[in-house]
Chains A and B, each alone.
Chain A
């Protein structure tokens, strides 16, 4: 236990310089480009007063170090600037949209794990069947399917041709009012408040985007689980277990425990990738999450939100990799910091 606390503590300390480095990159992102950042952040239709205001708050007449310190101060107060397009503080825009994106990303990662690992184990333990061939072909597609195109195909088939799925208009159908705000993720909020119509509508809307992400990104987990399992099933300790006459399920349990570390790494990578990759799927399904916010900001040259989205997703990535490392340690305590 003490060793674990030491490991977690050290790893946590290591995150602090990482977060600082991330903030430095985001800070310089807008300053390295040609053009006056105060004009860029104020937006194309800003009045001269507004530009002056932004210039003062950025402290552009100060040395760059002072500017950075000011930037950190504003961040610590939760001030990410103002979006000229929604004319709202970026922080409240993000607070509104982040849960929707997390609902999608976390859901997709969870489903990938729940489907991918058992399927990988099943293929690894029963080699040479139809299942193996199917999984082999499916695994080949990993990483090369355009998720936005798969999403469109699913809409075409399940909404237009079959009429099973609702129109891709966002997180809820037009006629349904949103549930009371608790977490911001509609499915969870509707469930917590017992709002039946909102819950079913939110679930129905969630199916296609989730299916798209799982279909495109699950093979990564599946392939890793399968190859790690195969390696473990033929390793010394499982052969020993088999020779000692332990039942098959126990052999698999032993093997699985030792096959998990690479799978956890891949889950972390999938999360990292989806935080960015979900942008396209969100756009197709008009999801109204962080990704769509970023896209709308890019199209409208609204740079303050863009800067904030980059920062927020990077912070999330850092946290995810922190969790991955800690899980890794819990499963395989041999590793050190």
Chain B
């Protein structure tokens, strides 16, 4: 415990309230993803009272148009939102890093490797030529709205980001002498790439991980908001905002305000944590 208190990371965090805030929100979200639906005071997918009750002692965040308790649904939402975001980001991370290592390691060298490396980069270029939200909308729309298809679409769209980050890190590590030594010692090129270079080139992708989770939550909510995400009445933040949107215009402000606030705070926490992790790990920023 004493060592944790004295560690660089903790000293850095104490100076930056944003890190503490981000970490707290992330932990709360993870806990809610685990137990949220169980601790919700009312059913999360069925009416709990009258339609459109303003927030009060019984219904803390009020009820929506079909009488479902908004507070309970907000508690239950991280399970679906966070799961989609985490799973898709893990897939994007693994695929992106693997492709990044291959394309970075073989960027210089023999012909077949070089061609593969260029090919990977060109494909990434093309995927990123499409505006992200429209592409996600099309992918999910064509394959049918479901949590699984949202995960696949988001993973696919996030791969190029991890790929580029890893590739540029690999290009730097690749020229170090220890890589040459590893190959001279009889390691195959692939082994050298994945066992010797990759561990030293993971940092940028890992730092990007947190930001991507936040961004994926935002995209998931956005897709559900327009009806191309998880199907209703799943307790999901984007869906809840969508249900509340009509009521917002006629003055029932609580219907979309609370889910949206949760969404904004969650995404903000992940992106702040990611940003600060990058600053912490960046050697030029050390004082």
A contacts, CB < 8 Å to B: 18, 21-22, 25, 29-30, 33, 40, 140-141, 143-146, 148-149, 152-153, 155-156, 159-161, 167-168, 272-277, 279-280, 283-284, 291, 294-295, 297-299, 301, 303, 306-307, 309-310, 313-314, 317-318, 321
Contacts and interface: CB of A to CB of B under 8 A. Distances in A.
Given A146-B263, A276-B135, A314 B130 contact: yes
Given A140-B272, A145-B264, A22 B225 contact: no
24 contacts: A21-B129, A25-B127, A29-B142, A33-B142, A144-B264, A144-B267, A144-B271, A146-B260, A148-B222, A152-B241, A152-B244, A152-B245, A153-B248, A156-B253, A160-B249, A273-B131, A273-B133, A275-B134, A276-B136, A294-B137, A295-B137, A306-B137, A307-B138, A313-B134
A30 B138 CA distance: 9
B157 to A, nearest CB: 10
A155 B246 CA distance: 11
Contacts of B137: 276, 279, 294-295, 298, 306
> Chain B at the A interface: mostly helix, strand, loop or mixed?
helix
B249 A309 contact: no
Interface in B239-276: 241, 244-245, 248-251, 253, 256-257, 260, 263-264, 267-268, 270-272, 275
A146 B139 CA distance: 21
B161 interface: no
A310 B135 contact: yes
A146 B217 CA distance: 10
Contacts of A274: 131
Contact of B130 (A140, A152, A317): A317
> Chain A at the B interface: mostly helix, strand, loop or mixed?
helix
Contacts of A145: 264, 267-268
Interface of B: 18, 122, 125-127, 129-143, 214-215, 218, 221-222, 225-228, 241, 244-245, 248-251, 253, 256-257, 260, 263-264, 267-268, 270-272, 275
A46 B130 CA distance: 30
Given A140-B268, A143-B271, A313 B249 contact: no
Given A279-B137, A284-B245, A25 B222 contact: no
Nearest to A40: B142
A272 B133 CA distance: 10
Contacts of B253: 156, 160
Given A159-B249, A309-B134, A314-B130, 6 more contacts: A29-B139, A29-B142, A160-B250, A160-B251, A276-B133, A299-B228
A153 B228 contact: no
Given A144-B218, A298-B226, A22 B126 contact: yes
A153 B131 contact: no
